[in-house]
Structure 1
Amino acid sequence: MGVDAETSKAQLRARIRSERAARAATAPESRGVEAEPAVAESAWALVESLWPDLDLNGRSMLAYAALAGEPDMDPVVDRFLAHGGTVYLPVVTTVGQPLMFGAVTESMATLEPRGRWGIREPSPALSAVDLLAEVAPDIMFVPALGFGPEGARLGNGGGFYDRTFGPQGEVPMEREDRMGWVFGVCFSTELGLPGLAVEAWDLQITSAVTDHGVHSFD
């Protein structure tokens, strides 16, 4: 008997979470995020390539607050803010609903864990529709447990990014006229996950930032 798609995804999630837990256990930071800032360095190098003068006044970013074991984007967020940019983070308000978004007004270290999953979040202020209409982020970093060979994203299973930015979501990311540069974020060992195919509702991403730089999917 073959393994169905959801079972396969569950197995992949379990494997990657175990690997990330082992990584987090050896990390020096108290939150247990990645032991080396290689992914953040790749992401910041990308920012520098887009805006070489680093005058980020009027520029905006959508990022995320890392959970234990996830690639840590805190240094990227703090540097973007220090250079005059504006940063928004996703906020989970209701299970089964699209994400909301809030601005980071100080450093990432000032945010406290909150909600069901203990994610560090600002106060929710904007829906995805409002985020695109009022902010229109210039660059977006989307977390993932990994990606299939063609860019199928493996999320944590809550479906929040699919409901928000997927083809059937609140603001489909495929509408290129409404989106800035969009990059997934994962470790290089989490690329090319076997048996991961894009479903009709799945958020699909064309490039990912890893500890080995930017990877583009075929």
Structure 2
Amino acid sequence: MGTKHDIRKRMEHLRKTLLPSEHKAKSERICRTTAQLFSHSNQDHHGPCKVFIYLPFRTEIDLMPLIHFCWDRKYEVYAPRVDKSTQQLELYRIRSEADLEIGTWGIREPKLTLPLFPVESWCNLDWILVPGLAFDEGGGRMGYGGGYYDRFMERMAQQASENGERQPRRVALAFEFQLLDTVPMEDHDFRVDYIITEEQTFYIDHK
């Protein structure tokens, strides 16, 4: 399987080898399946569905169709911005692409003029979509090595524990080739609850 560095390098290479038409078709299929999951789970939901979603970059799955689906359904959509002073993710609600600007490393981020979504409200989210380079059927995830989402999940878990709240469901969207038999995991790494590819959906029960 190789080291984490080897796996990351291989997955980046595999994503780059996708033809634009393949990338678009697979991304749309993944977005469609995820939208169906949101819609089905939202049937008995009181109030708008709240989704924390990352903004696609380079070879990542194009999530803009899913983001537009959420906006069309009047879901509350939140996106991350890196606080450079703390190296933490901060959340902002976005209502259209006009709320975005080019930020750190050329990744689109919410504008700083938008109101901050407070940490105390994070557990009110219904869904968290997390990026990554490799996943396994046990919910294991390998990110990009920056630790931003690990720190985010740790802060949210602490908030949930202090207030006796449940944590939002964590969803990984991936191309089928990003699934491995086993992903190397550290003690501080979190696991996801769903993995959705262009071919299948996994629900991981961590109980």
Q: TM-score, normalised by structure 2?
A: 0.82
Q: Distance in 2 between matches of 1:191 and 1:131?
A: 32
Determine the structure 2 residue equivalent to 1:45: 36
**Structure 1 runs not aligned, ≥5 long:** none
* Residue correspondences, number: 198
Determine the structure 2 residue equivalent to 1:142: 130
Q: Distance in 1 between matches of 2:85 and 2:172?
A: 22
Q: Distance in 1 between matches of 2:201 and 2:137?
A: 14
Distance 1:214-1:56 versus aligned 2 partners, 3 A rule: farther
**Residue identity in the other structure for 1:46:** L
Which of 91, 100, 113 is residue 81 of structure 2 equivalent to?
91
Distance 1:95-1:160 versus aligned 2 partners, 3 A rule: farther
Structure having the higher helix fraction is 2
Q: Distance in 2 between matches of 1:127 and 1:93?
A: 13
Q: Check whether the contact 2:4–2:184 (CA below 8 A) recurs between aligned residues.
A: no
Q: Secondary structure at the match of 2:111?
A: coil
Which of 185, 190, 197 is residue 210 of structure 1 equivalent to?
197
Q: Check whether the contact 2:100–2:108 (CA below 8 A) recurs between aligned residues.
A: yes
Report matched runs for 1:163-202 at 5 Å.
163-165=151-153, 169-172=154-157, 177-194=165-182, 196-202=183-189
1:57 shift after superposition: 5.1
1:44 shift after superposition: 0.9
Q: Secondary structure at the match of 1:41?
A: helix
1:18 shift after superposition: 0.7
Distance 1:123-1:110 versus aligned 2 partners, 3 A rule: closer
More moved, 152-161 vs 117-126: 117-126
1:96 shift after superposition: 6.3
Distance 1:13-1:109 versus aligned 2 partners, 3 A rule: farther
Q: Distance in 2 between matches of 1:197 and 1:150?
A: 12
2:8 is equivalent to residue 17 of structure 1: no
Report matched runs for 1:36-185 at 5 Å.
36=25, 37-52=28-43, 58-94=48-84, 97-106=87-96, 108=97, 111-115=100-104, 117-124=105-112, 125-126=115-116, 129-132=119-122, 136-165=124-153, 169-172=154-157, 177-185=165-173
**Structure 2 runs not aligned, ≥5 long:** none
Q: Distance in 2 between matches of 1:46 and 1:89?
A: 19
Q: Secondary structure at the match of 1:61?
A: strand
Q: Distance in 2 between matches of 1:92 and 1:41?
A: 28
More moved, 153-162 vs 179-188: 179-188
Distance 1:41-1:109 versus aligned 2 partners, 3 A rule: farther
Q: Check whether the contact 1:188–1:212 (CA below 8 A) recurs between aligned residues.
A: yes
Q: Check whether the contact 1:198–1:204 (CA below 8 A) recurs between aligned residues.
A: no
Please, what is the CA RMSD of the aligned residues?
2.9
Distance 1:85-1:149 versus aligned 2 partners, 3 A rule: closer
Q: Check whether the contact 2:51–2:77 (CA below 8 A) recurs between aligned residues.
A: yes
1:38 shift after superposition: 1.3
